[in-house]
Amino acid sequence: MKILHLDYRFAVIIAAIIFMISCKNGSGTPAPEVPIAGDTLKTQVPVEAPLVMDTVDYLKRISTLAHDSISDKWPAKTAIPNPGAILPFKRIVAYYGNFYSKNMGILGQYPEDTLIEKLLAEVAYWNNADPLTPVLPAIHYIAITAQSKPGAGNTFRLRMPEKQILRAIELGEKVKGITFLDVQVGHSTIKAEVPTLEKYLLNENVHLGIDPEWSMKDGAIPGRKIGSLDASDINFAIEFLTDLVKTNKLKPKILVVHRFTRGMITNSDKIKPTPEVQVVIDMDGFGFPAKKVDSYRRFVSGYPVQFTGFKLFYKNDILTSPYRMMTSEEVLNLFPKPIYIQYQ
């Protein structure tokens, strides 16, 4: 029994020594682990899992937009986007305009609370129309507007103040969506105007739109005739956004380009989307349903780039018989299905 008792006391002493050694670092805090050869120090910083592109789902959704058929034009043959891309995983439903003008779109026609209520109602409408494609709300704000007067620099364009641009971005955040900043160059150029929006485009939720209608390469006064942009202009915007995404490790950006005539975009077959930039050609002509469908078929579907969009006008679409806007069913029956819907 004495031998057992001595063994017990010896074990207690050894345990006490081990405890004191472990506490020697102070305040009862365990001493740090000492790595041995071949080990690496543990880090307390959580590592975020990298985004992964679901290529199978992407290709399936692209096929769905083409009504699961294959033609010589659709689906458009472009590179698969980088992880984090919005399209075609979500359908964008956007409200368009400028806060200073009631005539330029719905954004200038209602107070903020009403705008949010109406936009979210449209989001619910499109979610119900196509439950397999979740809707992402958007604010499409004209940040640089064409003007009928020369203005500073004889450019026939006006850049909106930062306060108004930030208001548009904040409104996009309030609807849990994204914001597009749209550019109408007037007598200026895409190369001169797009880079002025760089600090806003660094925000992952801010994307870009450009409108050829208001690009007056021949010196005409904006609004007197329909303008035009070349593929080289659009490719500059794509390359600018691509560099921005690469340099700042951003998710892919979206570029929306408006079109409702053939001449609005020249050499459209040379437009080159990149894995960093998704391109939407948006049919933004107004009129009765048959006219809009024809414009879409001739000027958007007929010139494949990557994705398509479709604009609906609350006022101008109902001016002639049958005096109504197109339904979601009619829009989704278009070939290919638009993945971007804009309301003006």
- 18-65 tens-digit pLDDT: 333 343 344 333 333 333 333 333 344 444 556 889 999 999 999 999
> Which residues are CB-contacts of 101 (< 8 A; sequence separation ≥ 6)?
108
Please, are residues 303 and 312 in contact by the beta-carbon 8 Å criterion? no
Check residue 215 and give its pLDDT: 98
Q: What is the structure's pLDDT at 343?
A: 98
Q: What mean pLDDT do residues 255-272 have?
A: 98
pLDDT exceeds 80 at position 278: yes
∠245-247-249 over CA atoms, to 5°? Answer: 55
Through-space distance between the first and last CA atoms of the chain, rounded to whole angstroms? 95
Q: What is the pLDDT of residues 119-174, one digit of tens each?
A: 999 999 999 999 999 999 999 999 999 999 999 899 999 999 999 999 999 999 99
How far is it, in rounded angstroms, from Cα 81 to Cα 239?
Answer: 14
pLDDT digits (tens, 9 = 90+) for 69-88: 988 899 999 989 999 999 99
pLDDT at residue 317, rounded to an integer? 95
pTM reported for the whole predicted model: 0.85
pLDDT of 16 strictly over 80: no
Instruction: Check the CA dihedral 206-209-214-217 and report its sign.
Output: positive
Q: What is the per-residue pLDDT across 195-221, written as a single tens digit (0 to 9) for each?
A: 999 999 999 999 999 999 999 999 999
Extract the tokens encoding 268: 């459209």
> Using one digit for the tens of pLDDT, what is the confidence trace for 310-323?
999 999 999 999 99
In the chain, how many H helices and how many E strands?
9, 11
Exposed (0-12), middle (13-18) or buried (19+): which is 43, by Cβ within 10 Å?
A: exposed
Burial of 212 (0-12, 13-18, 19+ CB in 10 A): buried
Quote the pLDDT of residue 152: 83
Q: Which tokens sit at 11?
A: 């074990």
CATH class of 55-343: alpha beta
Please say if the pLDDT value at position 2 is more than 80. Answer: no
Give me the pLDDT at residue 48, please. Answer: 53
For the chain, the structural domain boundaries read: 55-343
Specify the pLDDT at position 51: 84
Helix (H, G, I), strand (E, B) or coil at 259: strand
Q: Of all helices (H) and strands (E), which one includes residue 312? A: strand 307-312
